[in-house]
Structure 1
Amino acid sequence: MKVVCVGGGPAGLYLAILLKRQDPAHEITVHERNPEGSTYGWGVTYWRGLLDRLREHDVASARAIEEASVRWHEGVARVGDLTARQRGDEGFGIGRHRLLTLLADRARTLGVRLEYESEIGAPPADADLVVAADGVHSALRAHHAGHFGTEVTTGRNPYIWLGTTKVFDAFTFAFTETGHGWIWAYGYGYGDGHSTCVVECSPETFTGLGLDRADRGEGLALLEKLFAGVLDGHPLIGRDGASWLNFRTLTNRAWHHGNLVLLGDAAHTTHYSIGAGTTLALEDAMCLARALREHGRLPDALAAYERRRRAELLSAQSAARYSARWYENLPRYIHLPPHRMFALLGQRHSPLLPYVPPQLYYGLDKAAGRLEALRRLKRWLGPRAARTLQARSAARRG
């Protein structure tokens, strides 16, 4: 099969790796419009579950990604001068540039052709399969806009994606109160002495602080002052073109048309606050490769891919909607004691939380946790109690 993949991000590169492993005879070319080695963003996050799935599909690339990642086991929430820390799931951070380099090297090793500074505006006519992995503003998707039925919903809060030389030892949330409302940051390390730092606030705080009018240097200086408590004197860094945005949640009515199929952000986006964008893109690639392996006819494979991924994404998309909503309603939670606020921050994906008073929800969640602990204790004690009774019964019979 001749495969043309447009977009050299994680989704496109990983799909090329998987398809080449499934059948070395596939002729696969990845076209990326930017020069090799250039990328936007800083670090990306993922969790242990993704690493396990990567190992199942390609041990070599999974090992390289894990070795190049930093990891953490805790989360930290700093509200003003108060701090709460708690254990959590094992998380990982890796520089986006490093991730793309590792995937590109693996793809080349397998025989994939990579074409950089190569922009494809329309689906090539001579390919058996054309993969649109060219992001939110996909040119290939726009070529059949009427069929795909793209819808975009713009979020309320402005945010900016920055870096810093402060290396966070845990996934860090920092909330700072100003005279114009709260502003907050998410920070996580990703290697090479750097961390990602995403800053977000309400529109009222954004304009009240003058961030809508500040130039790049003035804006960074103000943010460094506001988050001095967590930055420890380290600077915030903005790449060329870094600007405040409002998150765009993208959906499509259809994901494939003829031999053209959407992958990653070209098909769907989820709010950055759940840290799942790269994971979902890589899982798209896994699902599409599996569908192409299991179905002999291309239309059946693309239909199966779309059907399966739509179903798998429901929980992540729901979590992203409620997560974004939690931050948009931050004043509802921010004045709780830090450990309680942090607990509800961890529950922000819950569809019930917006409708239950925060203190009541916290109490109910704690009670449910105690009940689950009791259930686990009963499951652990059950076999042991049974063995003890059996031993006593045997002793009496003896």
Structure 2
Amino acid sequence: MKVACVGGGPAGLYLSILLKRQDPSHDITVYERNPEGSTYGWGVTYWRGLLDQLREYDPESAQAVDEHSVRWSDGVARVRDLTTTQPGDEGHGIGRHRLLKILAERARSLGVRLEFEREVSAEDLPDADLIVAADGVNSALRTRHADHFGTELKPGRNQYIWLGTSKVFGSFTFAFVETDHGWIWCYGYAFGPEGSTCVIECAPETWTGLGLDTAAEADGLALLEKLFADLLDGHSLIGRASTDGSAQWLNFRTLTNRTWHRDNLVLLGDAAHTTHYSIGAGTTLALEDAIALADALRDHTELPQALAAYEQRRKSALLSIQSAARYSAQWYENLQRYIHLPPHRMFALLGQRHSPLLPYVPPQVYYGLDKAAGRLEALRRFKRWLGPRLARTVHARALASRK
């Protein structure tokens, strides 16, 4: 099969690796409009479940990803001058540039052609049996047939900016700062010994009140460094200015499509769907798309059936994740509902932000119910553990009494 993958991000590169592993005779080319080694953003997050999948599908690249990742298990929340810490599942971070380098090198070693600085026009597609649109949320290939795909983009309310810093966070860190114009907050996580990612978010009225809507990038970064001085410990923030020198503040856009394929064209990763960055699942979902598409192409000899199976599998898997992402975004959009709780309670509800029930129950009541449910579940686990042991003890004593 001849495959043209438009977009050299994690999804496109990983798909090319998997297809070459399945059948080395596949003729696969990845087209990327940007120069090799250039990328946006700083780091990406993932959890153990993804690493287990990567090991199953390509142990070589999985080992490289694992070796170049950092880990954390605690979450830290700073609210004004108060700090609280809670244990959590082990998280992983890796530099986006490093991840792309690992995947590109692995793809080349398997015989995939990588063509950088190669723009593919929606009007002049490569000659291929399968064309994969892995060209992101602004996909030109999808946009040309937006009516067919049933594309919908829904902007969120808050403003956010993706930044880096030379500070290396030891835990996944949240910091909430109160200003005269409302709250502004940061999500920070390390991606390597060289630094961390900082995503800063605020409501639109805070954004305009602080003058961040009109500030040049350098002025905006200086203000943010001042606001988050306690968090940064003297380290600087690093931006990515646009060509006119303005800072790249954005509204997150939730993308959905009614269908993911048209003839021999199929959508992958952010070209097919997006989920709010606050759940940290974008790269994981893109790689899982690649896995599902490769599986479908292996299991079905006819392309239409393969693409339909891929779409059905991924849409089903995404239902709960997309719901969680919507509620997570809404939690931050309604921060005033939670921010004045004691920090440990606010942090506990931050961890519950995916719940569809939380927006409709008073926060203090929800916190109490959640604590009670946790105690009940702990008791159930203890009883499940204790039950067989008591039974064995009673049985042993009964046997002893008969002797």
TM-score by length of 2: 0.98
Find runs of 4+ consecutive structure 1 residues off by over 4 angstroms: none
3-state secondary structure, aligned to 2:369:
helix
> Residues 282-321 of structure 1: matches in 2 within 5 Å?
282-321=287-326
Residue range with higher mean Cα deviation, 261-270 or 189-198: 189-198
1:25 alignment counterpart: 25
2:138 aligned partner: 137
Q: Which of these residues, 280, 293, 297, is aligned with residue 275 of structure 1? A: 280
Alignment-derived partner of residue 353 in structure 2: 348
> Which amino acid in 2 is paired with 1:78?
R
Question: Residue 380 of structure 1 aligns with which residue?
Answer: 385
Report SS of the residue matched to 2:223: helix
Q: SS where residue 182 of structure 1 aligns? A: strand
**Counterpart in the other structure of 2:105:** 105
Counterpart CA distance in 1 for 2:120 and 2:219 is 38
Question: Within the alignment, does 1:239 sit opposite 2:244 as a pair?
Answer: no
Distance 2:104 2:212 in 1: 38
> Which of these residues, 325, 331, 335, is aligned with residue 326 of structure 1?
331
Shift of 1:253: 1.1
Q: Distance in 2 between matches of 1:12 and 1:214?
A: 36
AA matched with 1:49? G
Query: Equivalences for 1:171-320 in 2 at 5 Å?
Result: 171-241=172-242, 242-320=247-325
- State whether residues 217 and 241 of structure 2, in contact with CA within 8 Å, keep that contact through their aligned partners in structure 1: no
* Contact 2:4/2:126 (<8 A) preserved: no
Query: One-letter code of the match for 1:286?
Result: I
Deviation per residue, 1:223-276 (Å, 9 max, x gap)? 001101110011111023251110011111110000100000000000000000
Q: 367, 376, 399: which is aligned to 1:394?
A: 399
Distance in 2 (CA, whole Å) between partners of 1:212 and 1:185 is: 17
Structure 1, 191-200 or 305-314: larger mean CA deviation: 191-200
| 1:302-349 C-alpha deviation (Å, 9 max, x unpaired) | 000000100000111001000000000001000111110000000000
Task: After superposition, give the CA deviation of every residue in 1:28-84 in whole Å (9 maximum; x if it has no partner).
Answer: 000000000000111010011110111111000000001011110110000010000
Instruction: Deviation per CA, 1:125-177: give whole Å up to 9, x if none.
Output: 62110000000111111222221111100000000000001110000000000
Q: Secondary structure at the match of 2:157?
A: strand
Q: Aligned equivalents of 1:280 and 1:376: distance in 2?
A: 32
User: Is residue 14 of structure 2 the alignment partner of residue 14 of structure 1?
Assistant: yes
Which runs of 5 or more residues in structure 2 are unaligned?
A: none
Q: CA deviation at 1:192?
A: 3.8
CA distance in 2, matches of 1:236, 1:137: 27
Q: CA deviation at 1:216?
A: 1.0
Measure the CA separation in 2 of the matches of 1:174 and 1:121: 43
**Structure 2: how far apart are the matches of 1:345 and 1:121?**
43
SS at match of 1:368: helix
**Where does 1:10-159 land on structure 2 (aligned, <5 Å)?**
10-122=10-122, 124=125, 126-159=127-160
Q: Which amino acid aligns with 2:397?
A: R
Partners of 2:29 and 2:382 lie apart in 1 by 55
Q: Mark the runs of 5 or more structure 1 residues left unpaired by the alignment.
A: none
Q: What amino acid sits opposite 1:199 in the alignment?
A: I
Structure 2: which amino acid aligns with 1:25? S
CA-based RMSD of the aligned residues comes to 0.8
Q: Aligned partners of 1:56 and 1:50: how far apart in 2?
A: 10
Counterpart-to-counterpart distance in 1, 2:375 and 2:254:
37
1:74-99 deviation line (CA, Å, top 9, x unaligned): 10000010000011001011111110
TM-score (norm 1): 0.99
For 2:194 and 2:110, the matched residues in 1 are separated by 31
Q: Secondary structure at the match of 2:252?
A: strand
Whole-angstrom distance in 2 between the partners of 1:99 and 1:111: 19
What SS is found at the alignment partner of 1:163? Answer: strand
| Separation in structure 2 between the aligned mates of residue 387 and residue 73 of structure 1, nearest angstrom | 36
Deviation of 1:193 after TM superposition, in Å, equals 1.6
Shift in Å at residue 213 of structure 1? 1.6
Shift of 1:367: 0.5
> For 2:278, what is the secondary structure of its paired residue?
helix
